[in-house]
Amino acid sequence: METSLSLPKASTAAEREAVADLHRVGFSYGGDPVLHEISLLIRRGDFLGIIGPNGSGKTTLLRILVGLLQPSFGQVRLFGADIRDFTEWQRIGYVPQKAVAFESRFPATVFEVVVSGRSGRAGLLRRFTDVDRDAAERALDTVGMAAFRDRRIGRLSAGQQQRVFIARALASGPELLLLDEPTVGVDPDAQEQFYSLLRRLNKELGTTLVLVSHDIGVVAQEVTQLACLNRTLVFHGSPEEAMRSGALAQLYREQSWVVAHHH
């Protein structure tokens, strides 16, 4: 938020800075290949949807991008730096799958959770300052959850919790926000709110977004870039091209009605 500024809309793809760059990335889990030769360039201002069937490696790819997993092969660069040397993690926001994120009886208020997103940025052995607390308040405002700041996190609905986790990720002012299956367990109304929030972050704040989802139809409507994954990168381009090339239908032969239904 302090640092994220969108470049003029007129800039062409080639001019926009590479935010994340994967070069021939592979990942094996206990000898089984999960990802093979993935090369993918994410530019500032992109809204990339990573879709693929179960077991296609999309969550693995996201975890590699945020440094939770080390690739077995290939190279990952974030903001131009090799991920192994990357230290500016406040430029990255991560929203994990809700189910793994927390325990509902955890005693913490919404605000405590959101401001914890500033921990890395504030630095080790430093206390939170007013700057941190203001940033957390603004992040809560952005996701429309300011009225809930003193509520216990476990008492909120799934959709509200999800927005709190987005606020936590936004609190450090990230330029790149990565979300893992964010709409699982969230009701349709909250989903619509959620996507309109993402549109706003992407268009107004210029935040680069990467969204992993199995919800092909909705994602294809929302994003500007689509990556279809099935252990290898089957397709990377705009959603329109994906439709034309038949890549979506090929990937989800049995589910292709989902795409047709939305268009």
**Contacts with 103 (C-beta within 8 Å, 6 or more apart), sequence order:** 154
The whole-angstrom separation of Cα 58 and Cα 78 is 18
The whole-angstrom separation of Cα 182 and Cα 109 is 21
Helix axis angle, 158-170 to 130-142, nearest 10°: 140
Q: What are phi and psi of 69, to 5 degrees?
A: -125, 145
The SS3 of residue 13 is helix
The whole-angstrom separation of Cα 18 and Cα 51 is 21
108 binds another protein (CB under 8 A): yes
106 binds another protein (CB under 8 A): yes
Nearer to another protein, 73 or 86 (CB): 86
Q: What is the nearest approach in angstroms of another protein to the Cβ of residue 90? A: 7
Instruction: Choose, by CB under 8 A, the member of 6, 11, 72, 119 that binds another protein.
Output: 119
Instruction: Choose, by CB under 8 A, the member of 30, 87, 189, 253 that binds another protein.
Output: 87
Nearer to another protein, 120 or 206 (CB): 120
Q: What is the nearest approach in angstroms of another protein to the Cβ of residue 95? A: 8
The interface mask with another protein, positions 46-65, x = CB under 8 A, is --------------------
Instruction: Choose, by CB under 8 A, the member of 22, 40, 48, 66 that binds another protein.
Output: 66
Which letter does DSSP use for residue 56 in this model?
Answer: S
Judged by CB under 8 A, the stretch of 32-40, 114-122, 228-236, 239-247 that binds another protein is 114-122
